[in-house]
Every structure is written in C-alpha cells, then in structure tokens.
C-alpha cells in the first residue's frame, strides 16, 4: 500500500519584487499613471524597479501514503511557499502537483478564531474553516474540549483567554482533523513545552493511522522524532531528500560549516547600498576562523561589506540582531547604544568586527539579521542573513551546564550573603 499520494513535478513560484515600494498593494492612480506613461514611451520603459524572485525553483518529489515527511531549511528557503501551494492558497507559476486524498492544512494555529466569540463558538467556526462539517465537529466536541483543558472557560469570549489557553484550544481543534493528508507549518513554536509534547504525540497517532503528514519545522528534535523522511530546502530548491537523520545532519552541517557566510548574492535586502554586507565570519580573538561559537568563549563576529569605490562612508551605524530557532528575538547588538558609531571608515577598509566577550548564548542555532545605516540613511538591511551555531561551553568555569529548557541566555552573577554577615 505504498502508492504515491502527492506528486510534485517541476514546481516553481515567482514573485515580482517591487523595489522602493513598501506596500504590496498598489493604488489605482499609480497603475493608471504607469500605464499611461508606458503608452507614451513604449520602447525605453524598461522598468528597473521590478525584479523577479523565485521563491520555489524546479522542485520535484513524491510523497507516499502513510509517510511522515519533514521539510527543513532556513527561513526564506521556500518551505512555507511550498505548503501554501500544496494547500491551494496560492497558485504556482510553473509545474504541476497531483494530490490524491482529502487534504487539511494547518498553516497557523487558530485561523479564523474570532476574539468576540466564546470558546464553544470558536470550536465550531474553526473546525468548519479547517474543513470539518457540523456533524463531525459535534461528534468530536467533547474530545476537543478535553484535549484543550479549557472546559471551565467554554462560554467566555476567547479575547479574555490567556495566550496559552488560546493556543491549546486552537490546536485541540486542529488535532482532531481526520484528513488523509495533513499539512502542518511550524505551529508547535507556540505553547508551553508540555503541550508541545502532547501535540507531537497526537500528530504521531494521526500518522500511525496511515495518514500522510507533511511537517515544516525549525525544531530539529521534533522532526527527528516525528518524521521518517525529510526534505532539505535551500533558496527555493530541494537540496537533499532522504532518511530524516541524515538530512538533518547534512542541514546542520550545511548551515554552520560554511564558517564564512557569503551574502553577496542575496537579493532579499533593502537599502541604498552605500555599504552592502558581503560575508560574515566567526573568529576567535586570535583571528582563527571558527565553524561555531562556544558558550563562554570570547567571540569575534567579522562583517565584510562591499562599498562604492571612491565614496567615503560617514557615520556608519551597524546593528546585529539574534533570533532563536523559533524566530523569537533573543538580543540585539548595536554600535549606537554603545556610542561606537564609526564617524568615518578608511578608504581601503571593508570590514568591521564585533568583539563579544564570553559568548552568552546557550548551545543551539541562532539566526541573525544585519542592519546598517550610513549618514542616517538605510544602507543595507538583510533579514535572516545567516545562522550561527553555538556549541556548549563552560560559561561558568565550573564544568557545569545550565539544563535544557531553562532559557537561552547565560550571564554572570554571584550568590552572596549580605555584607553584614
């Protein structure tokens, strides 16, 4: 019974990026003006501001019935776009997908929840949005309520729920879907650890019943736990498909082994390019290139940039922000708060260094974003520029580690008795 239920053939999706335009929608007058203009100068109106961006590029793979497939890759690798096309929310630009079976997709927890409605009402509403019919919801109602643990608040408007209750209720509805194919995007990033475990368990049960699951996550442990097969995507292309352990280890190596991260080809950036980040290197204080930082060891982040020849750089302001694997902002480094703005950069200099004594993050993967202004104007802004792998280290010089699940951040402190004793 291992017939193919999802067949993806040469799937591509392109978006037109309009530069210098912050709003995705246009106004009618703008369109009219542009159309009229292009009527008058028909030949030389090469519209430079529009650029084609391929969110997915020639993606092909098959999923067989009952398989649990994890899709991994950095942010912007095209995972969510792929799920959106599979869910028929957006249309592909090229290629073809054949799906055999009832699909339910869960791209967000609590889609369509209405804050004014009670928990009970929202169960029905959300259930029907996810594709259940009324009888189905009524049949499973008690089960959903029990799973969500919000019995006492069923008739309270969900706007008065705590965020934990809200997520639990929303996931409870979703967990009781009975499709043949379940598509799930990073929904476990919310909720407390215990509830996450419960959800993972539920998803495992679901797939135990012969259902096919497609699961996107940044949580490698969850993928490893749940999926037997994984697809590693990079910049809209499939990099590797296979046994999930192998794919995950390749992915982790791939994202940290390139100790020098090349940014020159990245197009998903904004700014006037007075400087343009070209690569990032992890180093130690002696200048050796590192594959990863280690908690508690002095670290140097070397940022190289391209600049416009002969043009001087004044008032260079740089910020580096770190997010954890759930996209949660951890911290932010910034030479403005430290009063270290570079008044001018020598003509032959194209790099800056950030020295971080005793690197304070716990082991894990951290995504960083880069931001620079020159003379007060945005020069380069690169969201999710790269990831930094942090290995466990002896931050407290005691040989002991902060246990997992106790936060990401390490800092110096001392326990003492008050001085009068």
Partner 1 sequence: MSKHKIIIEPGTENSNYWRDLWNYRGLFYFLAWRDILVRYKQTVIGILWSVLRPFVTIVVFTIVFNKLGGFPQDGDVPYAIMVCAGMLPWQFFSSAFSESANSLIANSNLLTKVYFPRLIVPASTVIVSLIDFLISFVILIGLFVWYQYVPDWKILLLPLFLLLAMITAMGTGLFIAALNVKYRDFRYVIPFIVQFGLYISPVGFSSSMIYNHENIPQYLKYLYSLNPMVGVIDGFRWCILGDNTALNISGFILSIIISILFLFLGIWYFRKTEKSFADVI
Q: How far apart are CA 185 and CA 231, in angstroms?
A: 14
Q: Which of 289, 221, 284 lies closest to 259 in space, CA to CA?
A: 289
Spatial CB neighbours of 381, under 8 Å, sequence gap ≥ 6: 269, 270, 271, 369, 370, 371, 372
Minimum Å distance from CB 299 to partner 1? 39
Nearer to partner 1, 180 or 306 (CB): 180
Spatial CB neighbours of 36, under 8 Å, sequence gap ≥ 6: none
Residues 39-52 as b or e (16 or more Cβ within 10 Å = b): eeeeeeeeeeeeee
Nearer to partner 1, 104 or 233 (CB): 104
Minimum Å distance from CB 344 to partner 1? 43
Q: How far apart are CA 397 and CA 382, in angstroms?
A: 35
Q: How far apart are CA 215 and CA 71, in angstroms?
A: 6
Strand, helix or coil for residue 348: coil
Minimum Å distance from CB 248 to partner 1? 27
Q: How is residue 14 written in tokens?
A: 């392109």
- DSSP E strand stretches across 229-337: 229-234, 237-243, 260-262, 269-270, 275-283, 289-290, 293-294, 299-307, 313-323, 329-334
Q: How far apart are CA 268 and CA 383, in angstroms?
A: 8
Nearer to partner 1, 28 or 337 (CB): 28
H-run or E-run covering 199: helix 193-208
Nearer to partner 1, 125 or 259 (CB): 125
Minimum Å distance from CB 219 to partner 1? 20
Minimum Å distance from CB 133 to partner 1? 5
Burial tier of 368 (Cβ tally within 10 Å: 0-12, 13-18, 19+): buried
The length of the chain in residues reads 421
Minimum Å distance from CB 263 to partner 1? 27
Nearer to partner 1, 130 or 150 (CB): 130
CB 360 within 8 A of CB 229: no
Burial tier of 31 (Cβ tally within 10 Å: 0-12, 13-18, 19+): exposed
Q: How far apart are CA 420 and CA 94, in angstroms?
A: 76
Minimum Å distance from CB 191 to partner 1? 18
Minimum Å distance from CB 161 to partner 1? 16
Q: Which residues bind partner 1 (CB under 8 A)?
A: 15, 24-29, 31, 84-103, 105, 107-108, 111-112, 114, 116-117, 121, 124-125, 128-130, 133-134, 157, 180
Minimum Å distance from CB 416 to partner 1? 52
**Edge-first strand listing for the sheet containing 229-234:** 103-106, 181-185, 212-216, 68-72, 229-234, 237-243
Nearer to partner 1, 170 or 275 (CB): 170
What are 70's strand-pairing partners? 215, 230
Minimum Å distance from CB 382 to partner 1? 23
């Amino acid at each position: 019974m291992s017939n193919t239920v999802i067949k993806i053939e040469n799937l591509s999706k392109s978006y037109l990026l309009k530069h210098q335009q912050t709003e995705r929608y246009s106004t009618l007058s703008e369109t009219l003006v542009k159309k009229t203009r292009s009527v008058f100068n028909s030949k030389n109106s090469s519209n430079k501001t529009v650029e084609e961006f391929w969110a997915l590029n020639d993606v092909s793979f098959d999923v067989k019935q009952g398989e649990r497939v994890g899709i991994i890759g950095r942010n912007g690798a095209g995972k969510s776009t792929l799920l959106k096309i599979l869910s028929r929310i957006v249309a592909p630009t090229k290629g073809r997908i054949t799906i055999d079976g009832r699909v339910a997709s869960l791209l967000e927890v609590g889609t369509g929840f209405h804050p004014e409605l009670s928990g009970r009402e929202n169960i029905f509403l959300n259930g029907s949005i996810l594709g259940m019919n009324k009888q189905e919801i009524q049949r499973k109602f008690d089960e959903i309520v029990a799973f969500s643990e919000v019995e006492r608040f069923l008739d309270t408007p969900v706007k008065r729920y705590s965020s934990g209750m809200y997520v639990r209720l929303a996931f409870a509805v979703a967990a009781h879907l009975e499709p043949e194919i379940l598509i799930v995007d990073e929904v476990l990033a919310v909720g407390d650890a215990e509830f996450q475990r419960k959800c993972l368990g539920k998803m495992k049960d679901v797939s135990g019943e012969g259902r096919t699951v497609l699961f996107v996550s940044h949580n490698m442990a969850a993928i490893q736990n749940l999926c037997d097969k994984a697809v590693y995507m990079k910049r809209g292309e499939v990099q590797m498909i296979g046994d999930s352990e192998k794919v995950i280890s390749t992915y982790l190596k791939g994202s940290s082994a390139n100790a020098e991260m090349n940014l020159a080809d990245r197009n998903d950036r904004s700014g006037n390019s007075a400087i343009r980040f070209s690569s990032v290197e992890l180093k130690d204080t002696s200048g050796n290139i590192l594959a990863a930082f280690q908690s508690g060891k002095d670290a140097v982040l070397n940022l190289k940039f391209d600049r416009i020849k002969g043009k001087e750089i004044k008032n260079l302001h740089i910020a580096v922000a770190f997010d954890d694997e759930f996209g949660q902002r951890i911290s932010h480094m910034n030479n403005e708060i430290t009063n270290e703005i570079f008044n001018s950069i020598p003509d032959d200099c194209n790099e800056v260094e950030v020295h971080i004594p005793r690197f304070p993050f716990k082991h894990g993967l951290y995504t960083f974003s880069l931001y620079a202004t020159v003379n007060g104007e945005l020069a380069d802004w690169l969201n999710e520029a790269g990831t930094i792998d942090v290995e466990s280290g002896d931050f407290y010089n005691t040989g002991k580690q902060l246990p997992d699940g106790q936060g990401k951040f390490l800092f110096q402190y001392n326990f003492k008795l008050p001085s009068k004793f």
